[in-house]
Amino acid sequence: MECKQRLKWLMLAMICPIIAGAPSSMSKRDGSCPKENLNITGGTFVLSNGYSHGSLLRYICPNGYYPSVQSCLCQDEHWTSKTNIRKTPECKKITCPNPRVFKNGEVIPYKDKYYVNDTTTYSCHSDYTFRGSAVRVCKPNGKWSGSTPICGRDSDHCPDPGVPPGSSRTGNMFNIDDKVTYLCESPLTLIGSKVRVCQDGSQWSGTKPQCYANFTYDTPEEASEAFSSSLKTNLAVEKEEQQGKKITLDQSEKLDIYIAVDASDSIDEKDFDNAKITIKMLLDKMSYYPVSPNYEILMFATDVTPIIKMNNFKMQKPSLLDIFKEMDDFTYEKKGEKTGTNIAKVYSAIEESMNIEELNNATAFSEMQHIIILFSDGHTNMGGNPKPKLDQIKRLVIKNDPKREKKLDLYVFGVGGDVNQEDVNGLVSQRDQEKYFFKLQDLTKVQQMFDDMIGTQRACGSCFHI
C-alpha cells in the first residue's frame, strides 16, 4: 500500500510539470516552483505562499462551475497534484447525477445532462404509490433538492428503498433478510451503504446511498441537520411546538470524544488555523450545556501530536482556556517538515488511549459511549491502509457484540475539493439510516455548520437548537 502511494505521488510529480512547466534556473536556486502555464481556462487561481516551497495553489471557478483540477502543491521545484492531470485545467459546468434511473414511473424532462437550476418532475405508473419529492431542482453543490422519489407497491415487509440518482440497484424483493445492492455510475463515488438488508422492524440496515461527483459537497445546512440527527443515538430529543426541534443532552451521559485534525502538507496554514478555531468552537458550544464529555485532541501528519490525551484529561480536568492555550501553542511551524498523511497512525494512537482506559477501569470503559471525529481530506500517503487500524478499535469497543455497535460513532469531515471520498466512506459508521460522512468546501463552512446546529444563547438551557 505504502509503495503504491509513493509510486502514485512520483507519477503525479512527473505529470503536473507538464502543465506547470519545468523549473527554471531561478527556481532551482531558491526552491521555488515555476510561474508559467498555471492558468485555468474560464477561472483563476490563488496561492497560499507565492511560488515558494510548500505553497498551495487553488483553482477558482465562477458559480455553477467547478475546476477540473482542484489544487497543486509546490514541492521540490515542481507543482504536484492529487488529481491525474492530462491536460490544461478548465472550469466545467456542474451537473447533477442522472435522475433517469427512476423506476416504475416517469421523469420529465428527459435529458442527457442536468445542470444547475434544471428542474425535474416525477410521477408513478398506475398501481404504484408515490413517496419522496415530486419536483427536484439541481443545486449548485451538485445534488438534487428534496428526497429520492420512489414508486412502490409497499406490499413487502420493507418499503421499496428506491434508486438514488446516478445509481443502479440489484434486488427487487423486500422481505426480511432480502438484500439490495447499489452501484454508482462512473466516475461517481458511492457514499453510504452499498448493501442494505431488510430487517424485522420494516427498516433497511445501513445508511441511504448517494452518488457523489468529485465536485459534490454538503451545504452547512445539510450537514447541520444530518449531524444533529446522527447524534440522537447519544442525545435525547425534546420537541417544542413553537421553537422547533431541540437536542437535549443527558447530564449523566458517559462520553469520550476523540478529535483528530489533519495537519499534513495538503492543509495550508490558513486551513490549519481554521481547524483549531473549529475545534475551539465545538468545545466552547458544548460547554454551554449540562454535559461533561472527556476529550482527546490530536494533530497528525507523518506523526501524531497530542494536544490533550484522554487519560490526562480525566486526571487533570483542564478548563477550556487550558485546552485552548495548548492548541494555540501548537503552531503551523511546529508540525515541521514531516508533512505526510498517516491516518493509520492516528487511529493507532486512539486505540492506544482506549486500551489505557480499559486497563484503568474495564467497567467504565464498557459503559462509555465513544465518538471519533476526523477532519481530513482522506488522502493517506504513508502508514498503509488505515481501515485495519480502525477495525481494531471496533473490536475493542464492540467486542463482536452487535448490541454494542451503538457504543462507537465514527465521523469524518472531508474538507476541501480533493477529498478521497471512496476511502473516507470506509472510515465512518453506517447504521441507523444516519449520515456520518460530511464533505464541505472549507473549514469556514464547517464552522457555519456548527453555528447552524448549536444555539449560541445560554438562555436555551440544556439544548442544542437545530
387: domain CATH number?
Answer: 3.40.50.410
**Same domain, yes or no: 326 and 292:** yes
Grid cell 490533550 in the structure block, residue: 308
The domain in which residue 84 lies consists of 2-93
Of 47, 78, 93, the residue that ends a domain is: 93
Of 93, 119, 148, the residue that ends a domain is: 93
Half-sphere exposure of 68 (CA within 13 A, CB side): 13
Average pLDDT over the chain, rounded to whole?
Answer: 84
pLDDT at 5 over 50: no
pTM passes above 0.75: yes
Q: What percent of the chain has pLDDT over 90?
A: 55
pLDDT at 260 over 60: yes
Cα–Cα distance list, 316 to 29, 52, 294, 330, 426 (Å): 50, 42, 11, 19, 35
> What secondary structure does DSSP assign to 87-121, as a single string?
S--BEEE-B---GGG--SEEEES--S--BTT-EEE
Instruction: Give me the mean pLDDT over the 413-431 stretch.
Output: 89
**Same domain, yes or no: 245 and 143:** no
> How does 236-249 read in b/e, with b if 16+ C-beta sit within 10 Å?
eeeeeeeeeebbbb
Distance CA 165, CA 336 (A): 44
pLDDT band, very low/low/confident/very high, at 362 (cuts 50, 70, 90)? very high
Which regions of 6-118 does DSSP assign to beta strands (E)? 44-47, 56-60, 65-67, 71-75, 78-80, 91-93, 105-108
**Same domain, yes or no: 132 and 253:** no
Note the pLDDT of residue 68: 93
**Same domain, yes or no: 155 and 301:** no
pLDDT at 216 over 70: yes
**Same domain, yes or no: 393 and 245:** yes
**Same domain, yes or no: 258 and 373:** yes
Q: How many domains does the chain have?
A: 3
**Same domain, yes or no: 274 and 344:** yes
Note the pLDDT of residue 134: 98
Peptide bond into 109 cis (omega under 30): yes
Note the pLDDT of residue 408: 94
**Same domain, yes or no: 327 and 306:** yes
**Same domain, yes or no: 204 and 236:** no
For residues 211 and 271, the model is more confident at 211
**Same domain, yes or no: 19 and 115:** no
Query: Looking at 90-104, 350-364, 429-443, which range is the least confident one?
Result: 429-443
Grid cell digits, residue 268: 495550508
Distance CA 37, CA 35 (A): 7
**Same domain, yes or no: 65 and 110:** no
Note the pLDDT of residue 30: 62
- Assess contact for 290 and 251: CB atoms under 8 A: yes
Note the pLDDT of residue 288: 64
Residue-wise pLDDT for 173-190, tens only, equals: 999 999 999 999 999 999
Query: Looking at 235-249, 367-381, 397-411, which range is the least confident one?
Result: 235-249
With a CB cutoff of 8 Å and minimum separation 6, the contacts of 384 are: 1, 2, 344
Note the pLDDT of residue 297: 95
pLDDT at 195 over 60: yes
Of 163, 179, 212, the residue that ends a domain is: 212
Note the pLDDT of residue 237: 37
**Same domain, yes or no: 457 and 414:** yes
CATH code: domain of residue 53:
2.10.70.10
Grid cell digits, residue 40: 485555468
Note the pLDDT of residue 229: 73
Cα–Cα distance list, 282 to 63, 285, 292 (Å): 30, 5, 13
